[in-house]
Structure 1
């Protein structure tokens, strides 16, 4: 086919989608009357639209006489192109509509291991089943790193403990709270106790999370000892509940875990603490000034899953 038969982008600028639909109808029906009825238009204006299309293209698309209509070689080529254009247009319109409703797009999510030690994985799974057009990227970060990334746009939403962190420009909602318990090897003397005091465990080898990840929570735990004139022996620092649990199971020391933790390994026992002790509250965090409809739908879904009150859904504008 020579260059004069190619449909240029400039030529497409002067066409209307309805002309493409009209042409597709007559190309498939090969009858002007039936094609006009199919697109719900009278035959005279229908025929005029086809004629105008041919004039705009500078090519004859149809051979017609009193008995039959057939496609020219240019018409057959243009028919395939018209089908493709309408398909892409409809796909684009559908995608934009789903984006506007939050059913399509990408979400970048940050989490801590403690946040995932909850119903959060189940809520994410159910959301993915309901919204298969949403792509989700999960990354594990400490709280400080999460908050910085949410501010800069590197994350859309985060799940972590925000204990006394600066929250300027960010919004949050508490999903759940857990008290801390003491995790000890299953053959430890504390397993026979109903509860353990900080004074009793002060001489134990304590496995703690690094202060850099949760500085305020780390300091509050140390203060709980300090108020009683105690100074715990921190023998190991490890990020994440599973790592701390593994060290406890291997007899390397004791650690604090959230109650009802799903990360408890075989060989570990959990013992309640006697004194009041800083707990673990997990929040969902987002930038209130920049989030997509898709992120908003996801956050509402998670909030509903954790039975967060209605004012949260109103805040994110869903």
Structure 2
């Protein structure tokens, strides 16, 4: 059975006239009639009653007509959807992000993408950098927005979207609030709240190295995941922490002070699996890259 036979049958079932039905599907009547006969023989049931005056559907024909219409509608929908997916106009994109990544223009970029590509579902999960890279590599995520590592990036490609300088966040009643800037020597004497190394090992290590280059060992009092958690501990007087400058996290009870020395910044990258990337994900990433005015992405390799 071929799809064209279903289309022929639907035409005659709706026209109830072989001549008009054949004209409707742009085929001569003799081969049209032969196709309908072959369809009935293949099914093993008479679908049409015909005589010299009229054509009508049998009970089997009425049922088959309903099913044939449904089959063709589903087929047309599948063809259309797959075509749109191939162009990146339909489907879904599974996105991972670190909290700091959303503390930027990224939400606006995603909103703009969804406005122009309403048929694409953007599924978002908040994850640490390590978890994102692992899931991108396994195919559980299409795209990640996170810091990247010096090592362990095999099979992944990335492009830097933006960078944020670190400042020291202290409670509003801290003595440091009287200062315009701080040295690492001063900071090393304070109880420091850090983000877990497991989530951002390279950034964690670079911060520690900034201290060690000056013969300093910071007093790490607590570790916390996420900017909001760090801000809550700082405002409670539990310690001080390095936070990205211009952060939109709640600053109630917090003062941000620049660091004098050259200090590691936080670079946020868009990351994907360079060997396995859907067309929908590619279109999503291209739109995000355009929004951040970064260089054109080269897929199947690192930009």
TM-score normalised by L of structure 1? 0.88
SS in 2 for 1:67: coil
TM-superposed deviation, 1:143 = 1.8
Cα deviation digits, residues 10-36 of structure 1 (max 9, x gap)? xxxxx2211111111111111222222
User: Which residue does 2:57 correspond to in 1?
Assistant: 71
| Equivalent pair of 2:157/2:301 in contact (CA under 8 Å) | no
| Equivalent pair of 2:274/2:299 in contact (CA under 8 Å) | no
Work out which of the residue numbers 42, 45, 48 in structure 2 matches 1:56.
42
Q: Distance in 2 between matches of 1:134 and 1:316?
A: 25
User: Which residue does 1:12 correspond to in 2?
Assistant: none
TM-superposed deviation, 1:111 = 1.7
User: Which residue does 1:180 correspond to in 2?
Assistant: 166
Q: Distance in 2 between matches of 1:316 and 1:72?
A: 60
SS in 1 for 2:95: strand
**Unpaired runs of 5+ in structure 1?**
1-14
Cα deviation digits, residues 74-122 of structure 1 (max 9, x gap)? 2111111111111111122122212212233333322211112112222
SS in 1 for 2:246: coil
Are 1:117 and 2:137 matched, yes or no?
Answer: no
User: Which residue does 2:148 correspond to in 1?
Assistant: 162
User: Which residue does 1:214 correspond to in 2?
Assistant: 200
User: Which residue does 1:264 correspond to in 2?
Assistant: 250
Are 1:42 and 2:34 matched, yes or no?
Answer: no
Cα deviation digits, residues 204-254 of structure 1 (max 9, x gap)? 221111122222221221221222232222111101111101111112111
Q: 1:316 to 1:294 in 2, by over 3 A?
A: farther
TM-score normalised by L of structure 2? 0.92
4+ residue runs of structure 1 moved beyond 4 angstroms?
313-317
**Unpaired runs of 5+ in structure 2?**
none
Q: How many residues align?
A: 302
Cα deviation digits, residues 33-53 of structure 1 (max 9, x gap)? 222222222223222222222
Q: How does 1:1-318 map to 2 (within 5 A)?
A: 15-310=1-296, 312-313=297-298
Q: Distance in 1 between matches of 2:199 and 2:154?
A: 18
Q: CA RMSD in A?
A: 2.0
Q: Distance in 1 between matches of 2:65 and 2:300?
A: 49
SS in 2 for 1:103: coil
SS in 2 for 1:138: strand
| Equivalent pair of 2:146/2:268 in contact (CA under 8 Å) | yes
Q: Distance in 1 between matches of 2:28 and 2:98?
A: 65
